[in-house]
Amino acid sequence: MSRLTPQEEAILAGIDDDELIRWVQELSRIDSVWRPAEGRGEAEAARWVEARCREMGLTTHFEEVVPGRPNVIAYHRFGPGPTLMFEGHTDVVTEGDPALWTDPPFSATIRDGRIYGRGANDMKAGVVCALIATRALLESGLPLRGRVLIGAVCDEEGAMIG
């Protein structure tokens, strides 16, 4: 006997586990360590998130807090009511010495049912879960109120400027 409501079942029915895993791997394979000497950071990861948001029809804003350090804010308004916000960050801490890794740090290797890679757990899987959950809400067909908002912010691992 299911303890889920019919509404909850309708939302969960829209989640494709294989796609969720694939998206976590895709995002985790993007090196989003802030590397100021190279002028690289989380911009590529933010663009990936923005593209997924646009694909699901969200109103999307891409805003650089400082050059190379963008936030992505995306939302859908169902109507009047409260806001459900998902928030996560796109930057990751440095991988350190790659020789100390069993697999390359940005390989997002699946082993023993787990994804291994820098940032997979903190917090790229969480960002992907927010995207997948939002899409499941949108595709459920349920009459919802308020809006759903995703904030994928920069620099959580540093000064938290996002």
Cross-strand partners of 116 = 109
Q: What is the CATH number of the domain that holds 26?
A: 3.40.630.10
The verdict on residue 53 lying in a domain is: yes
Averaged pLDDT score across all residues of the chain: 96
Q: What is the pLDDT of residues 97-143, one digit of tens each?
A: 999 999 999 999 999 999 999 999 999 999 999 999 999 999 999 99
**Catalytic residue IDs:** 91, 156
Number of structural domains found in the chain: 1
Segment 46-61 shows an average pLDDT of 99
Residue 125 covered by a domain: yes
Q: Is 136 exposed, middle or buried (0-12, 13-18, 19+ CB in 10 A)?
A: middle
Half-sphere exposure of 159 (CA within 13 A, CB side): 5
Q: Which domain holds residue 56?
A: 6-153
- Has residue 162 been placed in a domain? no
80 inside domain = yes
Is the Cβ–Cβ distance between 157 and 92 less than 8 Å?
A: yes
Contact 45, 134 (CB under 8 A): no
For the stretch 21-53, pLDDT in tens is 999 999 999 999 999 999 899 999 999 999 999
Q: Is the pTM of this model over 0.85?
A: yes
Q: Summarize the confidence of residues 82-103 as an average pLDDT.
A: 97
